[in-house]
Amino acid sequence: MPVHPPWLRFQAYVVGLPKTGSTSMATLFGNYRSGHEWQLNELLELALARRRGTMSDREFAEAAGRRLVPASLEMNSATCHHLYLDFLIDRFPHAVFFHTIRDVLSWTTSLLDMVLWKRLTGRMVPVSFPMPAREILREMTGGTGSLDPDDEGDDRSSLLPLMRFWTAHMRETASLLPADRSLQIRTREIPNRLPEIAALAGIPVATLRQDWSHSNRSAHRFDRFRAFDSEELRGAYDRQCASHMADLFPSEHAAWMDYRTENSPREASGDDWNRYRSELLKRMADAARKFGPRITH
């Protein structure tokens, strides 16, 4: 197998979706040349152009410049790498890949919480969201995701598109990753799989920053699958997500199926959503007073 460039001790990429542990993986490798979301919006713009067919691989490599070629990071963790995973695999036959994954129920909730946080932040401080970030949000949510601070509605319409996006990502990534130089990791299991993570990178496990492996957690969540439960949502889950969930996340799948057995879909009143949004607004007002525009991150 070809060796990595001599200026790197190893070459690794995190290729999971947003909200699947990219921060934790980058900080885990904090003793090495590690980066997280470096020039994310620039790479997103190029990746979307490549996906649209308006940019060739050669043009993509040239436009990405030092961000990707030649490789300058040992651990390169970014939530856009999955968009050009085939390019990375082909261009770097010596690189290794960490596919961080999360069950569709908690992933969808976490992503929509992030979007809601950013939307509400616009009421507190002036915020400008780059066009590539808006475009990938539109793609993931089928055009339903909103960053408009004046939007008063809930985000239930994004559930089905995000479920489709999650399923397509799981299938595509599994079909591309080379088995001999990749590792699939459930986000919650990162701290328990340090020996495997270190072995794939070819480094001593003691050099991993285990004290940093729980980065970027949030205790505040709104369970949209239960709040916005419906026959349509259950049917979409069964058709699109159930097989992946039963295989990769059996306990989360069983819990959701048990809930469905015990509870029929009910008309969402909106009260839970309004209470949750009011709680977030209060927390954000405190954060805005303390940190200003940094509350958007």
For the chain, what percent of residues have pLDDT higher than 90?
73
Distance CA 63, CA 69 (A): 9
Given phi > 0 = left and psi -120 to 50 = alpha, else beta, which region is 203?
Answer: beta
The pLDDT score that the predictor gives to residue 1 is 45
The pLDDT score that the predictor gives to residue 32 is 96
| pLDDT tens per residue, range 100-138 | 999 999 999 999 999 998 898 888 877 788 899 999 999
The pLDDT score that the predictor gives to residue 220 is 58
| CA 78 from centre of chain | 9
- Return the domain boundaries, the chain: 12-102+166-212, 104-164+220-296
Cβ-contact 100, 213 below 8 angstroms: no
Helices and strands in the chain, H and E counts: 13, 5
Predicted TM-score of the model (pTM): 0.92
| pLDDT tens per residue, range 189-222 | 999 999 999 999 999 999 999 876 555 555 557 9
In this predicted structure, the answer to whether residue 75 has a pLDDT above a threshold of 90 is yes
The pLDDT score that the predictor gives to residue 229 is 95
Which pLDDT band, with edges at 50, 70 and 90, does 46 fall under? Answer: very high
Q: Average pLDDT in the 71-81 region? A: 94
In this predicted structure, the answer to whether residue 56 has a pLDDT above a threshold of 90 is yes
Which pLDDT band, with edges at 50, 70 and 90, does 6 fall under? Answer: confident
Q: Average pLDDT in the 50-56 region? A: 94
The pLDDT score that the predictor gives to residue 74 is 96
**CATH 3.40.50, domain 12-102+166-212, yes or no:** yes
Q: What is the mean pLDDT of the chain?
A: 91
Distance CA 187, CA 102 (A): 6
Half-sphere exposure of 21 (CA within 13 A, CB side): 25
- Kindly report the number of other CB atoms within 10 A of residue 134's CB atom: 13
Cβ-contact 201, 208 below 8 angstroms: no
Distance CA 175, CA 228 (A): 32
Between residues 238 and 1, the one the model is more confident about = 238
The pLDDT score that the predictor gives to residue 294 is 55
| pLDDT tens per residue, range 210-254 | 876 555 555 557 999 999 999 999 999 999 999 999 999 999 999
The pLDDT score that the predictor gives to residue 226 is 94
Angle at CA 251, nearest 5°, toward 249 and 256?
95
